[in-house]
Structure 1
């Protein structure tokens, strides 16, 4: 496994990995209705929004034999927007490598993220602490996540 900078041609692989990971990893903590709301539409507008933020942020992809098996993106202010690792590659240190590398690349006073119920324990092991529990609504469906913070 190695990390490299995101390229615009990675969008389809990244979106597919995101959708598959939400369905196959987060199902223990969220209902099928919540998973569908989280995934949302895969239309031109959504793909354009993702492409814009992935290109604007520091974004890394994790590759295993040239196949995207993980990705993460962080703003210059230290906000970790997305972190997903393929269901088949969980618990192999990929998420940790992505987060640590992005933190090293981003000289921020602190780092923040909105973590899912599923991801909360991972972030706590990385030194993040819960600031508050949130209820967000997507497509009329309530989802729980956690605002988390880590001092640099």
Structure 2
């Protein structure tokens, strides 16, 4: 957990009471992307409106998620990792509210996830990184395995399937 005296936020485990905020943050973060690779048609295919609270509650019954929460208990970022099946260790979400981006929140969330994964002794972490998140994962030792493509509502999303091997089940900070 972040020391609230040093940062204006702290990291907590996902709780169903935050599901609506997670839904709104996810949608808002996507709709505020301003990048040539993401025209409005792609943003709308990615998230045309917030998903239901129930969607996030069910998703995080199966997976592990952490939230960055500000001093007013508003969710300002979140990250999650698959904990079951063959996708164990797959980071499936990492989003930060637009007003809070570029302040180290994504890194803090990733480091929280990494510490938990180390305790679980997962052998590998993987992620389908976007153009926007690829650099963060590279900074933390992820290696590109292949370019990935996802299709949704007539739009093609290019991504980067990346992995990080956790040598001897120890996770390093890079």
TM-score (norm 1): 0.90
**Residue equivalent to 1:73:** 80
Task: Flag the structure with more relative contact order, 1 or 2, with Cα contacts below 8 A and sequence separation at least 6.
Answer: 1
The runs of 5 or more residues in structure 2 that have no matched partner are 1-8, 167-174
8 Å contact 1:6–1:55 — kept in the other structure? Answer: no
* Count of residues in correspondence between the two structures: 150
Task: Give the deviation of 1:134 after TM superposition.
Answer: 1.4
Distance 1:108 1:17, change over 3 A: same
The runs of 5 or more residues in structure 1 that have no matched partner are none
**Residue equivalent to 2:148:** 134
Partner deviation per Cα, 1:114-142 (whole Å, 9 max, x = no partner): 11111111111111111111121001211
**Residue equivalent to 2:138:** 124
8 Å contact 2:82–2:91 — kept in the other structure? Answer: yes
8 Å contact 2:19–2:54 — kept in the other structure? Answer: no
1:37 counterpart = 2:45:
yes
TM-score (norm 2): 0.80
- Superposition RMSD in Å: 1.6
Q: Which has the higher helix share?
A: 1
